[in-house]
Structure 1
Amino acid sequence: MTHNTSNLRIALYQPDIPGNTGTILRMAACFGIGVDVIEPAGFDISDRSLKRAGMDYLEQAALTRHADWETFQEWRLSEKRRLLLFSTKAATPYTRFSFQTGDILLLGRESAGVPENVHQAADARLIIPMVPGARSLNLALSAAIATGEALRQLHVL
């Protein structure tokens, strides 16, 4: 397997469900991708279901916690990284977008997505197309789909 040289990151905006976060951390550890959790999360980071979903990969995961949106945004801008928001309200399919080294894939809160100011701060808003009538995918599945396409385009997978 090729090591991740994309410097890609996944950011989770105030995640609600520890199992999803654990699954994303496990996936990210397997691909060598950093994960940013933008607080407050809807659970304690030491939650048992987070640990169960992440299994023994949590120690390998490159997790960075940001106290709030403003702190994350300040860090991101200082790093000069593009922010790509995955949203059911977006119009551009993720498969028609050109990912770049250093991109941050942002996924919103399971219960509420992200507020308008976060939408506005994104450099691009991307959608994972679904059949008519489908409301949304599970957050961890969305992260996996987005990550897989970004790594494929960046020739990491």
Structure 2
Amino acid sequence: MTEPTPCPIRVLFDRPCIPNNTGATMRLSAITGCEFHVAGPLGFDLDDTKLRRAGLDYRDQAKFYAHQNLDEAYAALLPARVFAFSARASRPFTDVRFQSGDVLLFGPEPTGLAPEVLADSRTTDILQLPMLPGSRSLNLASTAAVAVYEVWRQFGYGTR
């Protein structure tokens, strides 16, 4: 079996509030090789115990970048296609043929992405993970993991 190569995607959390989700996504970055960016203001300190616990010993292996705000993150990431994830969207994320360097954008845990972020001209499309009717949303780190693994699957886990 051929060894996988890093997932060529970039995950961006806008104003994350729960350190466990950010730590778990740092671990996702280390395991898959995707870049992980956070845009502040953050709802916790980057030295938070819960963040370190969730990231385990993978934190130093993650491709992790912290930005002061979303505009600063965009300055570092663009030009690129930006796919915003929202439980209110109607297009399934599996309908997209992802490209190397695409950005997967996720909003803060209690509210999701703000309407102005979803309407921003830098947002290429708004996508959702299918859920049963009446469901509010999936955990942020879980949503990011599902999306990253779909992108990596589309790239053949880098083994092609």
Q: Structure 2 matches for 1:98-117, cutoff 5 A? A: 98-117=97-116
When the two structures are superposed, what TM-score results if normalisation uses the length of structure 2? 0.92
When the two structures are superposed, what TM-score results if normalisation uses the length of structure 1? 0.93
Q: Which residue of 2 aligns with 1:126?
A: 127
Q: Which residue of 2 aligns with 1:49?
A: 50
Match of 1:49, SS? helix
State the AA in 2 paired with 1:97.
V
Q: How far apart, CA to CA, are the structure 2 residues paired with 1:10 and 1:113?
A: 15
State the AA in 2 paired with 1:38.
A
State the AA in 2 paired with 1:116.
P
> Between Structure 1 and Structure 2, how many residues are aligned?
154
Match of 2:157, SS? coil
Q: Structure 2 matches for 1:60-139, cutoff 5 A? A: 60-77=61-78, 80-121=79-120, 122-139=123-140
Unaligned runs of 5+ in 1: none
Q: How far apart, CA to CA, are the structure 1 residues paired with 2:76 and 2:35?
A: 14
Unaligned runs of 5+ in 2: none
Q: Which residue of 1 aligns with 2:9?
A: 8
Match of 2:38, SS? strand
CA RMSD between the two structures: 1.2
State the AA in 1 paired with 2:5.
H
Name the % identity: 38
Give every structure 1 segment of 4 or more consecutive aligned residues whose post-TM-superposition deviation is greater than 3 Å: none
Q: How far apart, CA to CA, are the structure 1 residues paired with 2:70 and 2:116?
A: 10
Q: How far apart, CA to CA, are the structure 2 residues paired with 1:2 and 1:102?
A: 17
Match of 1:15, SS? coil
Q: How far is 1:147 from its partner?
A: 0.5
